[in-house]
Structure 1
Amino acid sequence: MGVHEMVIRTATPEEYAAVGELTVDVYVGEGYVPPSSSYVTELADTERRAAAAQILVAVHDDRVVGSLTVARYGLPYAEIARPGELEFRMLAVDKRARGLGAGTALVRTVIETATAESCEAVALTTMPAMVDARRIYDRLGFVAVPERDWTTPAGELLTVLRLPLPLR
């Protein structure tokens, strides 16, 4: 199975369009974000995100099958990170590639990065509707921090999850 390995790495500029398309496909196509939302522009604009944050991709058989955005505290795209936390956002996995472990591998890479950077935790915001993603987070040990939940301008309640990392 070695040929079909899942590779996780930082996206190259040539992949930005594919990442934007995939992210919009998942968020809009699966009903998490209405097509009319201003957030769609942000999801599509990988180039702008890449200038201020780290875009990770999961590549399988030379195809981008997943992506997420790593946002460091105090920098653009960090919405909920507190000092000492590494945040990630916009996890998207191609429907046709689900079950290959792309989502888990992407999140594990964020955890490894946070550990290497001596962060105390990884944090993220998720929507109650994102059941598949929530399964990954639960399995990896993320816990809800209800006091940090927040509401979008459209009035949707979002859930904050956090994974405390062992102190080194």
Structure 2
Amino acid sequence: MPSSDFVIRPATTDDLPAIIALLADDVLGRAREDAGMPPAKAYLRAFDAMMADGNQIQAVAERGGTVVGTLQITIIPGLSRMGQTRGQVEGVRVAASARGTGLGEALIRWAIETCRARGCALVQLTTDRSRTDAHRFYDRLGFTASHLGYKLTL
């Protein structure tokens, strides 16, 4: 049953352990994240850099004082599409205990409205090919699988 008893807000440094735990709490995340305490210095450096960059937004969803969701938005000014700005959504995670409550949809709708308020003409995101449930979720919210993405690990 959907619920709206959560608050979406900008993340603080105090939220880092919960954010990292959410990122690490799946098959893909376990292989690439380190949820040990205290948080690895790389996470702290990355968060500080994000907070210093006005085009980065890390958000958390909180229910009853507990972080149960997160996502990152990057605002990307560009010349393509006649100088349109776009919002890139990354690292969307919802705690297993909060799935099926409407939180994921609320997070994405919050991200869309945040991008719109920042002057974005489109919102884009990527999701791993293996995340078929996520594909159906984004399709249901009106996103279109319009591109093929590539990555190069450095």
Could you tell me how far 1:17 is from its partner in structure 2? 2.0
Residue 68 of structure 1 corresponds to which residue in structure 2?
Answer: 71
Equivalent residue for 1:86?
87
Question: Does 2:14 align with 1:17?
Answer: no
**What letter matches 1:141 in structure 2?**
G
Aligned partner of 1:131 in structure 2 is 132
What TM-score do you get using the length of structure 1 for normalisation? 0.68
CA shift, 1:123, in A, is 0.6
Q: C-alpha separation between the residues in 2 aligned to 1:140 and 1:89? A: 16
Q: 1:71–1:4: structure 2 CA closer, same or farther, 3 Å change rule?
A: closer
TM normalised by structure 2 equals: 0.74
Cα deviation per residue 1:65-114 (whole Å; 9 max; x = unaligned)?
Answer: 1100010115xxxxxxx842111101111122211222111110011112
Does structure 1 residue 145 correspond to structure 2 residue 142? no
Please give the root-mean-square deviation of Cα atoms over the aligned residues, in Å: 3.1
Question: Take 2:22 and 2:32, find their aligned partners in 1: how far apart are those partners?
Answer: 14
Native 8 Å contact 1:9 1:57 kept in 2: yes
Q: Distance in 2 between matches of 1:72 and 1:85?
A: 6
Look up the equivalent residue of 1:125 and give its one-letter code.
T
- 2:4–2:102 CA contact under 8 A, matched in 1: no
Match of 2:58 among 47, 55, 60: 55
Residue type at the aligned position of 1:56: A
Partner of 1:6: 6
Alpha-carbon distance, 1:115 to partner: 1.9
The alpha-carbon deviation at position 152 of structure 1 amounts to: 2.3
In structure 2, the CA distance between the partners of 1:120 and 1:127, relative to structure 1 (3 Å rule), is same
Change (3 A) 1:99 1:45: farther
Q: What residue ranges of structure 2 are gaps of 5+ in the alignment? A: 34-41, 78-82
Distance 1:145 1:22 in 2: 27
Q: In the alignment, residue 31 of structure 1 is paired with which amino acid?
A: L
Which has the higher relative contact order, 1 or 2, with Cα contacts under 8 A spaced 6 or more apart? 2
